[in-house]
Structure 1
């Protein structure tokens, strides 16, 4: 059962995102003292009493100005209202009623959704009621004095909110797969999200930095439930000023950390840049499953050899992710967009896969037959005794040897390559831990010492 939606509406800089963070007990919504920080509609989960719901935060509404992003923000607010069970319109009690508030009230009176009026920045209990009383004239019902930053009055407001929500029941549904869409600014991440969802889920613009929030969208594909996160474009840290974009990038890195699988979007026209390489390294370092999506494929002049030649060129630069499948798409035409889920599903399956110890050792013995461990000038040779998988997400193996120092990088890469060729793990990084006899003896001694209570 889908959770009911509560839409938070209002003009710029009245504290909508602060209220959303308060209602959802989080800090996900970007809060900054600058109008226009929130542009897309973003979702978080909240609860009050016996009700669970989704809160959608919208951009600041302005009706008498069609300058940069404002028409798109209005469209996002319309889409939020279309799915909402109740709307909470926020106004600034310290500023009083403005012409912008009156325009929003007039617009809301023509909507079918129930509306509650929250008068924010009423920190003083004595003055709050008087400040709120000024807003009766908007015709949106009783004004509720609140302080989003301190929490005053928000409980009473939530009591009214849940009176409009249907009862929710617990389900046994599996947790959705977290899929983070990441990449440099302007490579087409938001366009991909919109193409996947079949609606204008995120504002698309040629202006860099349009997406600032991380935007969660839940849908069903390949028989699985996915939560898609369209992240802010990630630029070099030295190129980013402290402010909304800085917070957006921080959330993008957090989205990578909490994801099950990342879709790294590359611009087919630009190819792989230094920043793409850094993002690839971050994904590998965090141990996330990954698929590489080369967007804007429609803009490339091509013949029957173009795709294979470009894949070879891109992989040479994305050597961090040589294990990740690569897909050539066009968000503009929709070409192969739906195939993203098929390769992402495989990557997630491999990321969570566990192999028995007997199979692991069959692969290792075969690798040893083809190529023996190196021997030092002094005649010492590395010996690989056995191995076992110790973890998933990503698949991790401990290899027991006589001395890890006898196994150089070249032989370690050979062993990893043999494991991949025999066992797969496409779309997932693999971790190998080499443990020597001295390490094992030290651990046994420590265990004996602890068992004696020493």
Structure 2
């Protein structure tokens, strides 16, 4: 197990900014408004030659039992229990507050190594606040600026006493095919607000890992969790609900939506979760179209199925509705689930594995040529402006998603309707349901184009 450090402290002291700096990318949302981080978030940190797991947490805050604030506090306490050491962060520009003093006692009771970080220490006011922090009894403060990267050398010196250096040879070694196959499948769960995404992931984990609430918009960050199902690893990203752009007003919600879109681009399979009682609404269709444009494998999960009245033929109706509303990803697997009751979870996970396999599929060249000749013979390309279009041959250039190059004459004249015919025929022939299929047109070079006309 890698050495793990949890970042704790009261809200808005710069914990997420420090987290982003240590993992080397903007994974956690950052805003001036306190309480942006709600769930705990893990990342692989690198500080010089030191490698360790870092956990960003919600700000330590008190709230009534059962409230969202109280459950955020429980997430932080879980992170502390999992960690080997703690970064206790204060805002040096503001100085010590009663909350800092109270939570310093909390950190001491954890009985783990604690490094006191005086963040925002740049300037005279930061110096004074850092001096005040001696009163917490947590040792010498390490003065840093997470935003500007100041004090990282001093932080390295302190962390190196806890974490052993890592051999860099593994970083430089190229990954083998077996290692790639053993990697977890990256899955993003997306949908409109309050579709039940976090509830579903909690059921998969068997614990209340992610905060849930009847109030829409509880999830803000895209939180990644690791699970195993039937011996296969998955890295699942819970995301903020995606609303229509005209309804996205607050800056924080815009950041959350951008974070969700990044999760889609990073994923290999995307699960579009819909509410069973309000399915295939306009925003659902927009999200599905985004997933197709990004070239990700799609699985549709219709959640809260336990609330639907049992009628014969309902699953068949879901299939017909999906193919009607989403022709661009015809045949995408659709699964009825209940995240709360745990119904349909195995079927959903199996659908994800199968969609991932289709997304990675390569079509044998001989079979592709046979299909191509038959498809053109059954439905020749139309003549445009009295001139016949010639389709020469097709080849697959890559998988993830399946992508092909069609060599032809007059590429700009081939109608989109004919490309849709080829795409749909290919889906049916080679069993590519739901995954995006890309066909790029390329004009075959004319071998005589470079020769000049002879004079008469």
Q: Same fold (TM over 0.5)?
A: yes
What's the CA shift for 1:411? 3.4
**Structure-2 residue corresponding to 1:392:** 399
For structure 2, the residue ranges without an aligned partner over 5 or more in a row are: 452-456
- Aligned 8 A contact 1:374 1:382 in 2: yes
Q: Distance in 1 between matches of 2:366 and 2:414?
A: 23
SS at structure 1 position matched to 2:445: helix
Q: 1:168/1:76 Cα in 2 relative to 1: closer, same or farther (>3 Å)?
A: farther
**Structure-2 residue corresponding to 1:451:** none
SS at structure 2 position matched to 1:441: coil
Q: Distance in 2 between matches of 1:443 and 1:342?
A: 50
Q: Which stretch shows the higher mean deviation, 150-159 or 404-413?
A: 404-413
TM-score, normalisation: structure 2: 0.89
Q: 1:414 aligns with which of 421, 427, 440?
A: 421
- Aligned 8 A contact 2:95 2:128 in 1: no
SS at structure 2 position matched to 1:233: coil
- Aligned 8 A contact 1:381 1:406 in 2: no
Q: Distance in 2 between matches of 1:167 and 1:340?
A: 41
**Structure-2 residue corresponding to 1:116:** 115
Residue 294 of structure 1 pairs with residue 302 of structure 2: yes
Q: Distance in 1 between matches of 2:190 and 2:87?
A: 31
SS at structure 2 position matched to 1:147: coil
For structure 1, the residue ranges without an aligned partner over 5 or more in a row are: 449-454
Aligned residues: 441
**Structure-2 residue corresponding to 1:426:** 433
SS at structure 1 position matched to 2:7: strand
- In the TM superposition, 1:83-102 aligns within 5 A as 83-102=82-101
Residue 21 of structure 1 pairs with residue 49 of structure 2: no
What's the CA shift for 1:204? 0.5
- Aligned 8 A contact 1:373 1:411 in 2: no
Q: Distance in 2 between matches of 1:261 and 1:204?
A: 23
SS at structure 2 position matched to 1:276: helix
Q: Distance in 1 between matches of 2:329 and 2:3?
A: 39
Deviations 1:135-171 (A, max 9, x none): 2332333322222222222331233234323565649
TM-score, normalisation: structure 1: 0.89
Q: Which stretch shows the higher mean deviation, 113-122 or 243-252?
A: 113-122
- Aligned 8 A contact 1:387 1:397 in 2: yes
Q: 1:107/1:373 Cα in 2 relative to 1: closer, same or farther (>3 Å)?
A: same
SS at structure 2 position matched to 1:122: coil
Please provide the CA RMSD for this pair: 2.5
**Structure-1 residue corresponding to 2:76:** 77
Q: 1:444/1:34 Cα in 2 relative to 1: closer, same or farther (>3 Å)?
A: farther
Q: Distance in 2 between matches of 1:205 and 1:390?
A: 45
Q: 1:318 aligns with which of 326, 329, 347?
A: 326
- Aligned 8 A contact 1:181 1:263 in 2: yes
Q: Distance in 2 between matches of 1:24 and 1:95?
A: 26
What's the CA shift for 1:424? 1.3
SS at structure 2 position matched to 1:159: helix
- In the TM superposition, 1:40-59 aligns within 5 A as 40-59=39-58
**Structure-2 residue corresponding to 1:329:** 337
Q: 1:240 aligns with which of 231, 245, 248?
A: 248
Q: Distance in 2 between matches of 1:426 and 1:4?
A: 42
- Aligned 8 A contact 1:48 1:162 in 2: no
What's the CA shift for 1:338? 3.4
What's the CA shift for 1:130? 4.5
**Structure-2 residue corresponding to 1:452:** none
Deviations 1:5-31 (A, max 9, x none): 211111111111111122223222211
